[in-house]
Amino acid sequence: SSGSGDSGSKELNIYTWTYFIPQEVIDDFQKETGIKVNLSYYDNNDVMIAKLMSGAKGFDIVSPSTDYVDVLIKSGLIEKLDKQKLGETFNNLDKDGLKLEELSKIYDPGLNYSIPYTYSATGVAVNKKFMKDYP
């Protein structure tokens, strides 16, 4: 919608990480909805924040790392979601039991400004040969 809130627009402007959204997902979305997707890329959160703070406009979706959602909210760089417009889409976000609202409590309680697209876990391996006292 060119970031203008024009619900009649047939374009979606996304500012995201390089290679973050697979081309197949974009192609399928465009085919199913008839909405053209325009992608703009950044390679780190600081570049993204700097561009938005310098007044860049026109993005409908921005995909920061979790720890930057709070920065965007406090800086007034993202708008509150209109959950009414999202309807059942929003209500079905957690159908797989991922506890998205629980995960988002730290950076966006109630998911008022963001919807998680992906999340990951970090594993830690311990070599007991070097860590004798590790339980």
Which residue ranges make up each domain of the chain? 9-63, 77-118
Tell me the pTM: 0.74
* pLDDT at residue number 58: 93
CA distance 48 to 62: 9
* pLDDT at residue number 97: 61
Q: Which CATH class for the 9-63 domain? A: alpha beta
* pLDDT at residue number 30: 97
Can you read off the two tokens belonging to residue 63? 């995909």
* pLDDT at residue number 98: 64
Mean pLDDT by 10 residues, the chain (135 residues): 58 93 95 96 95 94 92 94 84 69 80 80 81 79
List Cβ neighbours of 78 (8 Å cut-off, separation of 6 or more).
62, 69, 72, 113, 114
Q: Which residue has the tokens 């993202």?
A: 78
| Nearest C-alpha neighbor of 114 from the set 50, 76, 63, 67 | 63
Alpha helices in 16-77 (DSSP H): 23-33, 45-53, 66-74
* pLDDT at residue number 6: 54
* pLDDT at residue number 106: 82
